[in-house]
């Protein structure tokens, strides 16, 4: 790893926080980062354990990458068996401490690490609304949740202020705020060039505005968690103190994370010289009172829903009555019953795309494939590694089988759709995903 150059002003800005730990912190910031990942509880896969080294103490599905392994080059990543994520970034969802059955909002969610972590902990029970304001990043977020096989979610591309009609709808809200990224210096040296004291102050202004918009969305008795991947007090304790002054209905709530320690005034820091990770700040706040979440209006099923359900049964045995079937552009989506009617909020997806409406027929969608197991599909092609690599490159696979739409799998996990015709399995992996993984 090449030596990175970090401005002296950055270290000086943290001297009052770190005191005699400054030398250890400086050494850590100039050292090599630790790689980590989370196994996907929605897609158990024994083969993924080959990459697992030591456990991440504060996340039950988290592991440091085993030495001399490269999970980012594995077919298993394409299949959604795990998500590569900095270990300290896993602390925010651990602090959110949500439960299956709850309705969660991840307000600043791209590229999707924390959203997939939330979805994994929900285990299909409850609902996640994941939002990202930047359109290109919102697409990355949707792709991450798609690959993870998270069916109980929707993805929006909106400003925090756009959610004002959803007051009290969420049990818990996570604000992983855009920040100056001081904790990313080791992994992303470009962040160093963007850093300045003035930039950290501008970030704090934006962070306070996002928290102000998030405050009414949490039901009374619910939790608002705030996190950054930066170290300075202005973007962390300073933002929280300003928020609490403006919102007396919130109080800090103490918590503890294994391997990190106990919070102080609801705030907890992960420093790279104390834990194996890039660093993070997390705060947990409780809205005072005790009220159930507000039941917002939900989507109504399309009049042709029964017809679509019958056609989809020719592809898989999944029970589509667990949600609401709606038309979205050229796609049929299955919207979770806990998803509120999002009105004019711009959506990337309101649920799981089940099929594309082609002239005279339905074509099963990739999102549906990634939510299935081989047992859900009426036809499945279980590929070995060599054939799976060819499939991911967009190639046709030579094999015999029953004609029709076929779920393509590797190590028991879905990769996408193929269509069996004679002795060939035609490739229907979306073109944008072909060659995306250098397996």
* The dihedral sign for the CA sequence 155, 235, 261, 183: positive
Please provide residue 390's backbone torsions phi and psi, each rounded to the nearest 5 degrees: -60, -45
Distance CA 284, CA 268 (A): 9
Distance CA 362, CA 385 (A): 30
Residue-by-residue DSSP string for 104-122: EEESS-TTSHHHHHHHHHH
Token pair for 380: 């499945």
Burial label for 238, CB within 10 Å (0-12, 13-18, 19+), is middle
Burial label for 117, CB within 10 Å (0-12, 13-18, 19+), is buried
Distance CA 155, CA 169 (A): 16
Strand partners, 408: 381, 416
Q: Is 287 within 8 Å of 221 (Cβ atoms)?
A: yes
Which one of the listed residues 229, 267, 316, 371 is annotated catalytic?
A: 229
283 a catalytic residue: no
- 3-state class of 209 per DSSP? helix
Please provide residue 10's backbone torsions phi and psi, each rounded to the nearest 5 degrees: -65, -50
User: Rounded to the nearest 5 degrees, what angle is found at the Cα of 322, between the Cα atoms of 338 and 147?
Assistant: 80
Catalytic residues: 229
């Amino acid at each position: 790893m090449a030596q990175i150059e970090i401005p002296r002003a950055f270290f000086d800005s943290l001297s009052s926080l770190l005191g005699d730990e400054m030398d250890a912190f400086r050494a850590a910031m100039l050292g090599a980062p630790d790689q980590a990942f989370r196994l996907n509880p929605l897609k158990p896969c024994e083969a993924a354990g080959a990459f697992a080294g030591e456990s991440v103490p504060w996340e039950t599905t988290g592991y440091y990458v085993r030495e001399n392994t490269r999970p980012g080059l594995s077919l298993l990543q394409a299949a959604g068996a795990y998500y590569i994520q900095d270990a300290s970034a896993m602390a925010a969802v651990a602090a959110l401490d949500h439960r299956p059955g709850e309705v969660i909002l991840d307000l600043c969610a791209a590229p999707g690490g924390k959203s997939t972590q939330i979805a994994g902990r929900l285990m299909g029970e409850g609902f996640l609304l994941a939002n990202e304001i930047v359109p290109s990043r919102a697409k990355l977020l949707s792709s991450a949740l798609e690959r993870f096989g998270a069916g109980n979610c929707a993805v929006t591309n909106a400003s925090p202020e756009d959610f004002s009609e959803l007051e009290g709808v969420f049990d818990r809200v996570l604000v992983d705020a855009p920040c100056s990224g001081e904790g990313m210096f080791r992994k992303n040296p470009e962040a160093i060039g963007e850093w300045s004291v003035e930039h950290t102050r501008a970030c704090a202004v934006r962070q306070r505005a996002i928290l102000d918009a998030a405050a009414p969305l949490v039901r009374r008795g619910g939790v608002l968690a705030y996190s950054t991947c930066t170290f300075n007090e202005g973007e962390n304790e300073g933002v929280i103190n300003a928020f609490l002054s403006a919102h007396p209905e919130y109080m800090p709530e103490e918590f503890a994370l294994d391997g990190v320690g106990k919070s102080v005034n609801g705030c907890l820091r992960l420093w790279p010289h104390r834990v194996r990770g890039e660093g993070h700040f997390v705060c947990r706040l409780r809205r005072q009172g005790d009220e159930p979440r507000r039941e917002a209006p939900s989507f109504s099923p399309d009049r042709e829903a029964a017809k679509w359900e019958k056609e989809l049964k020719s592809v898989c045995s999944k029970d589509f009555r667990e949600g609401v079937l709606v038309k979205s552009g050229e796609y049929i989506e299955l919207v979770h019953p806990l998803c509120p009617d999002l009105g004019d909020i711009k959506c990337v997806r309101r649920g799981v795309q089940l099929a594309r409406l082609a002239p005279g027929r339905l074509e099963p969608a990739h999102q549906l494939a990634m939510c299935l197991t081989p047992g859900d599909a009426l036809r499945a092609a279980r590929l070995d590694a060599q054939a799976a690599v060819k499939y991911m490159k967009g190639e046709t696979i030579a094999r015999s089988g029953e004609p029709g739409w076929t779920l393509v799998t590797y190590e028991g996990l879905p990769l996408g759709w193929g269509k069996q015709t004679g002795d060939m399995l035609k490739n229907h992996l979306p073109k944008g995903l072909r060659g995306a993984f250098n397996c």
